Structure 1
Amino acid sequence: MHSSDSCQAGRVKQVAALALDGVMTFDLACAVQAFRHGPDKTGVPTGFEMRTCGVRPGPVWTPNGFELRVEHGLEALETADIVVVPGIGLPTLPTAPEVLEALRAAAARGTTMVSLCVGAFVLAQAGLLDGRPATTHWAYCDEFAAMYPEVKLDPSALYIDDGSVLTSAGLSAAFDLCLHVVRRELSAGAAAELARWNVTSPHREGGQAQYIPDAFGHNDFPGALAATMAWAAANPAAVRDVSSLAGHALMSERTLIRRFKAEVGTTPRRWLEAQRTARARQLLEDTDLPVDVVAIQAGFGSVTALRAHLRAATGTTPAGYRRSLRR
């Protein structure tokens, strides 16, 4: 029977949230809000019963200025329908062998495995993400990819549902995934009520991109191209095309392209498009300018071009981008 079918039949789902030393309490709180408090004023669990556990009962250190105390050890994983692994402050550190063994055993029994933020590092250490699509906080994606090349990492997704294993990006995306689990296991109505209780958006698609900052700040431009890149980044609407960059740099287009590949690692055209997209995002975030004016000031020239590049970068439209940030 599918897990949602069993919930609909009235069986309460057992959730075990694994609080390892260094647990990020925001991640853990997302699980608490989703699986321990119901969407009403009583706080009664609705469809879930959650236990927080550690390697053993007792104190759990956190990097957030206080200590937790849990009543359960790893035995809580043995009866769980869903295991939630919040992130830890130093995610690249090795996880205790008994923890990895308990996670593997739970997965082998058919338990749904959920990681929040950099909790994906723990599931990856256990081998539970091998060959699967997964995501984690954008700031840790390079380290994750280097450590676990066998995982099909998607550094842009908010969360990924791969059936029995689900992973989320950082911070607010952790709650997005928890809401998704409530929607999947109970109903869309239950998730909407829970979102309403937590005063948050009821549904963000997992494929919506994380808002990742641009690779170059204005103080990071390299070598002989620094002055031209700083000018173009500050005035994207004044740069018609690659020939404008070459003219400012007093180089031929061929020389400019060669220098860009050597010093920046990409082409002038792609870099310029990224700068225009960055400016458009900044204008959408910080101003109330109409979208057609944003397109012109960012150097795109048309709303159609702006829409195409913004969707490629963030997975949403100009209006959707502005609305999601201001919500």
Structure 2
Amino acid sequence: MPNPIVVAVITFDHFSPFHCAVPCLIFGDTMMPGASLFELRLCAGDATRQPGSAQGFRIDASHGLEGLIGAGIVIIPFWRDPAERPAQPLLDALVAARSRGAQIVGLCLGTYVLAYAGLLEGRRASTHWEFEQDFMGRFPAVRLDTNALYVDDEGLITSAGTAAGLDCCLYLVREHHGSRIANKLARRLVVPPHRDGGQAQFIEQPVPASTRDARINQLFDHLRMHLAEPHSLDALAEHCLMSRRTFTRRFQQATGLSVGEWLLAERLRRSQELLETSGHSMDRIAELVGLKTAAILRQHFRARFGVSPSEWRRSFRGDHA
């Protein structure tokens, strides 16, 4: 049996308990007792060896940054403030670990730490979808993948938010010890060994529910009650007692979307609800939301959310219908 791979998990003050617990659970010996697949080291990234969280938790870190020496995998499970540049000794330690050939992993906002260290310039990366605009503004040289649950760019591995850290850590187990071990670990965690789709299925879609334009708001109510019907620009303009030109301009000003874009987004939103709450067939759902056929529904649904309607239903219906 080869020596276990040393995994250094870096902790900080004001840490997130869940994010820190994920790599400790995956790479510790709790879920795979006696297997000796990894050697886990908790390393303090700040001066204190007992960083605390806002919830009152404390971690007793047995190592400082010297714990990164000899580590094959270095994980930053979170970062407390995207606007805060980490201390230079930590950034230097990450660069040194990378130069020794270690895989450097940033989970969720931990991606910021890799970026501050300059490790991600010109490379692909992922982070939590809510921080994508902030991240791209701070690090324009990084090629941010706005949908991936995790990205591996030649050993620089980054993940999307929160639960995607589990996906990323299971990926690392699979890379080092194969699918059989990763699948066994996933079953013990009661999670899928690999999830289809990306972050797009979880991102809140910016479809206006109402606007400052009373006529457009009244039109929203009308359209939501008649999603199954076709709608022409001329008919909608007549409904609002406007010319076609005035109507299209007012709608764009009020919503930031064209009528077609708004309708498609609203139809897909309604299809999500029906997938989660009804037993209707795909053809029936497509008919109810005005997308005509199941094939058209599947095409637009996958393009928008990165998963098929059937995969959405399995993920979000409590009975897994």
When normalised by structure 1's length, the TM-score is 0.88
Say if 2:279 is the partner of 1:292.
no
Say if 2:46 is the partner of 1:53.
no
Which residue of 23, 35, 58 corresponds with 2:27? 35
Partner secondary structure for residue 68 of structure 1: coil
Per-residue displacement from partner, 1:31-66 (whole Å, max 9, x unpaired)? 1121113644xx345421111111246211213332
Distance 1:104 1:206 in 2: 32
In the alignment, residue 54 of structure 1 is paired with which amino acid? A
For residue 94 of structure 1, report the CA deviation from its aligned partner. Answer: 2.2
For residue 233 of structure 1, report the CA deviation from its aligned partner. Answer: 4.3
Distance 2:195 2:109 in 1: 20
Check the 8 A contact 1:222/1:264 in 2, yes or no.
no
Q: Report which stretch shifted further, 226-235 or 138-147.
A: 226-235
Distance 1:231 1:103 in 2: 57
In the alignment, residue 256 of structure 2 is paired with which amino acid? G
Check the 8 A contact 1:92/1:121 in 2, yes or no.
no
For residue 15 of structure 1, report the CA deviation from its aligned partner. Answer: 0.6
For residue 276 of structure 1, report the CA deviation from its aligned partner. Answer: 1.1
Which residue of 16, 20, 43 corresponds with 1:24? 16
Distance 1:249 1:187 in 2: 61
Check the 8 A contact 2:11/2:51 in 1, yes or no.
yes
In structure 2, relative to structure 1, the CA distance for the partners of 1:176 and 1:288 (3 Å cut) is same
In the alignment, residue 26 of structure 1 is paired with which amino acid? F
Check the 8 A contact 1:295/1:306 in 2, yes or no.
yes
Distance 2:123 2:212 in 1: 37
Partner of 1:153: 144
Partner of 2:296: 305
Matches within 5 A, 1:155-234: 155-205=146-196, 207=198, 209-219=200-210, 221-223=211-213, 225-233=216-224
Distance 1:148 1:211 in 2: 24
In the alignment, residue 53 of structure 1 is paired with which amino acid? C
Distance 2:88 2:292 in 1: 57
Distance 1:296 1:63 in 2: 49
Check the 8 A contact 2:13/2:51 in 1, yes or no.
yes
Check the 8 A contact 1:38/1:45 in 2, yes or no.
no
For residue 237 of structure 1, report the CA deviation from its aligned partner. Answer: 2.3
Partner secondary structure for residue 84 of structure 1: strand
In structure 2, relative to structure 1, the CA distance for the partners of 1:74 and 1:233 (3 Å cut) is farther
When normalised by structure 2's length, the TM-score is 0.90
Per-residue displacement from partner, 1:186-239 (whole Å, max 9, x unpaired)? 1011110010010111211475744111113524x3435333234434543245
Partner of 1:271: 262
Per-residue displacement from partner, 1:98-136 (whole Å, max 9, x unpaired)? 111111221222211111111111111111121111111
Check the 8 A contact 2:25/2:31 in 1, yes or no.
no
Which residue of 54, 57, 61 corresponds with 1:70? 61
| Superposed CA RMSD | 2.3
Unaligned residue ranges in structure 1 (runs of 5+)? 1-8
In structure 2, relative to structure 1, the CA distance for the partners of 1:237 and 1:33 (3 Å cut) is same
Which residue of 87, 95, 103 corresponds with 1:96? 87
Partner of 1:4: none
In the alignment, residue 215 of structure 1 is paired with which amino acid? P
Partner of 2:7: 15
Partner secondary structure for residue 141 of structure 2: coil
In structure 2, relative to structure 1, the CA distance for the partners of 1:253 and 1:103 (3 Å cut) is farther
Check the 8 A contact 1:218/1:230 in 2, yes or no.
no
- Give the number of aligned pairs: 316
Distance 1:223 1:266 in 2: 14
Partner secondary structure for residue 237 of structure 1: coil
Check the 8 A contact 1:39/1:193 in 2, yes or no.
no
Say if 2:311 is the partner of 1:320.
yes
Partner of 2:77: 86
Q: Report which stretch shifted further, 221-230 or 51-60.
A: 221-230
Per-residue displacement from partner, 1:136-180 (whole Å, max 9, x unpaired)? 111111211221121111222211122211111112111011111
Check the 8 A contact 1:145/1:151 in 2, yes or no.
yes
Distance 1:135 1:48 in 2: 25
Q: Report which stretch shifted further, 190-199 or 152-161.
A: 152-161
Q: Report which stretch shifted further, 170-179 or 64-73.
A: 64-73
In structure 2, relative to structure 1, the CA distance for the partners of 1:229 and 1:130 (3 Å cut) is farther
Partner of 2:104: 113
Q: Percent identity?
A: 37
Distance 1:169 1:88 in 2: 13
Check the 8 A contact 2:68/2:74 in 1, yes or no.
yes
